[in-house]
Amino acid sequence: MTALPTDRRREKAARRWSSFWAGMQEFYVGPYRQMFKREQQSEEDLFMVAVLGEALGVPDPAAYYTAELMPALWEDFHAWHRRIGIPRSPLDHIGCC
């Protein structure tokens, strides 16, 4: 067996270490990825209801302050109402389906 030059040994060790590190990262973080995604989606749904509450017919004392956030939510509105189980748009003035 021939000895590898020092630089090649270091490169090989660095590749092995990064591969090992990536495997350990996936081992510990992987199971929680789905949970974090579900929690993020739940928070986004709550935010949508808070902002669109007045438009959905829920009295909202903060509607004046959340009105300026509505244009930012229109892009995700279709995916949101489908995700929560409403097949057609619940708002009369928004025809996304």
The residue among 28 and 89 whose pLDDT is bigger is 28
Local confidence band at 24 (pLDDT 50, 70, 90 cut-offs): very high
Residue that is written with structure tokens 């995916």 in the block: 79
Measure Cα distances from 43 to 2, 21, 38 in Å. 58, 31, 9
Residue that is written with structure tokens 């017919």 in the block: 57
pLDDT at 88 over 60: yes
Give the global pTM: 0.57
pLDDT at 23 over 90: yes
The residue among 24 and 1 whose pLDDT is bigger is 24
Q: What pLDDT shows up at residue 25?
A: 92
